[in-house]
A and B are shown apart, each in its own frame.
Chain A
Amino acid sequence: AQSVTQPDIHITVSEGASLELRCNYSYGATPYLFWYVQSPGQGLQLLLKYFSGDTLVQGIKGFEAEFKRSQSSFNLRKPSVHWSDAAEYFCAVVTNTGNQFYFGTGTSLTVIP
């Protein structure tokens, strides 16, 4: 069965520091991978996605993610975090045979001034 794991429930970083949010998936084939951000009380905003090709994908707001097949991972990174990046981040997988998304449990990011 497909699954998505975000090992870190909560992360705190200082403004200007680098950030890496972890995501591991379980799926037999290469899935489609996504990262979303959710501000409090809001819906989800797509940060970036990976379907195929270059394993390092660039997204909005200065985020990037790298697909590593050998590790079944799709970690999200940002070189310098801004206070406005504080939010909940969700990794998601959709199988390439259907429309169903599987979400991770999310990582809450706190940014210290």
Chain B
Amino acid sequence: GAVVSQHPSWVICKSGTSVKIECRSLDFQATTMFWYRQFPKQSLMLMATSNEGSKATYEQGVEKDKFLINHASLTLSTLTVTSAHPEDSSFYICSASGTASSPLHFGNGTRLTVT
């Protein structure tokens, strides 16, 4: 089946630094990728939708300058958390889908801890 690889699985960084998270579709081309954030014991909240070769669409309340998304190829999207702060600590999950009717394939998530 389709596989989405997310890297790293966990990362600890100091406040003020930037962290890049990668999301790769390993055996299919993902025209659209999605980035979610999950707070402890809560559901996934969509942060942004990225389409290959174009700017990402951010959900209301998500700072585009803080959460930089790049989808430069059909198999790779990256999320960069810039100038991270402790409140950015969370579980970030990416997903990818080729079409609207195929279920999204999820990465295993990245646990970000900002100290």
**Which residues in A have some Cβ–Cβ distance to B below 8 Å?**
32, 34, 36, 41-46, 49, 51, 90, 94-101, 103-106, 108
Contact = CB atoms under 8 A, between A and B. Distances in A.
Contact of A43 (B34, B100, B106): B106
Given A34-B103, A51-B101, A106-B42, A99 B34 contact: yes
B74 to A, nearest CB: 15
Contacts of B7: none
Interface stretch (B14-22, B63-71, B79-87, B107-115): B107-115
B49 interface: yes
5 contacts: A43-B6, A43-B108, A90-B43, A95-B100, A100-B34
Contact of B93 (A43, A99, A108): A43
A44, A96, A99 interface centre (most CB from chain B within 10 Å): A99
A104 to B, nearest CB: 6
Contacts of A49: 103
Contacts of B49: 99-100
A52 to B, nearest CB: 10
Given A104-B43, A105-B43, A108-B41, A97 B100 contact: yes
Contacts of B46: 100-101
A45 to B, nearest CB: 8
A32, A44, A49, A97 interface centre (most CB from chain B within 10 Å): A44
